[in-house]
Homo-oligomer: A and B are copies of this chain.
């Protein structure tokens, strides 16, 4: 099996295509790196690059991206709707295949340390890589953004970086480096227009109100479809799977007397998450992604 680590750097540039192209080119210059996606958002003035590599190449690709962003982006000139504190703003590493979340924490530490040392950019470790509990949440790390953090990092102990100097880089700011599980965006649409049903179910199942662990959930109206939606994010599918979320919603809809119209998966999901659902449906406790033919061929 190939070791696959995903890296999803967010850069504070979503308008100048030539800048984003140069950054992507620098990442891609590492042999073995595969660029899966580049999304430029002009309103947020931010770009999200998705790439993969093994434990070593992913580190080098991330570092080269950070270095290019430092050369090409000046936060003093940056405006956009999305909160940001660095040219390379956030840098999460995600375990996909043959690698654990803990491995990704170690990768985040190595790359973070190197960015601080060689690029003189202070680094904050966040999510699973956080060394302080409050830094698990990225919002706490980025509070005040580039302009506010520029002052706070100098004197507030709680804002001192995990790696590097206690001063922002003058143009590249600071970078949050972290590790997290793949995020699954899974929605369940209900055959009713009553938004209170979706909101009630979302509240019941989400972790923050005592529901399923590692599940975020909100209720929305789908105007055009005449339905409501329980929209969920699974932050660790190995803790709470899509099956569990679906079954929990199903139970609530039965009590509420409404039907599930359909499920939806937004974006990409890991093979293991799909196999997990299949094994649940077919009651096969022993089924794993090792039995998937393509995994043997491509892996």
Residues of B within 8 Å of A82, CB to CB, are none
Known: A96-B293, A268-B292, A294-B97. A284 touches B262 (CB 8 A): yes
Number of A residues near B (Cβ < 8 Å) is: 46
A282→B242 contact, CB < 8 A: yes
Please indicate the chain B residues that have their CB under 8 angstroms from the CB of A246 in the complex.
Answer: 281-283
User: A4 to B283, Cβ gap below 8 A?
Assistant: no
CB neighbours (8 Å) of A81 from chain B are none
Judge if A269 is at the interface, Cβ distance under 8 Å.
yes
Q: Is the CB of A207 closer than 8 A to any CB of chain B?
A: no
Interface residues of A (CB under 8 A from B): 2, 4, 6, 34, 36, 52, 96-97, 182, 186, 188, 242-243, 246, 260-265, 267-271, 274-275, 277-278, 280-287, 291-299
Q: Give 17 pairs: A residue, B residue, CB < 8 Å, sorted on A.
A: A2-B298, A6-B293, A34-B297, A36-B296, A52-B297, A182-B293, A246-B282, A260-B283, A264-B286, A265-B291, A268-B293, A269-B292, A271-B292, A271-B294, A278-B281, A294-B294, A294-B298
Apart from the given pairs A96-B297, A262-B283, A271-B271, 18 other A-B contacts in the complex at a CB distance below 8 Å: A6-B293, A34-B297, A36-B297, A96-B293, A242-B278, A242-B282, A246-B281, A263-B282, A265-B284, A268-B291, A268-B293, A269-B293, A274-B278, A274-B292, A278-B281, A280-B281, A294-B295, A298-B298
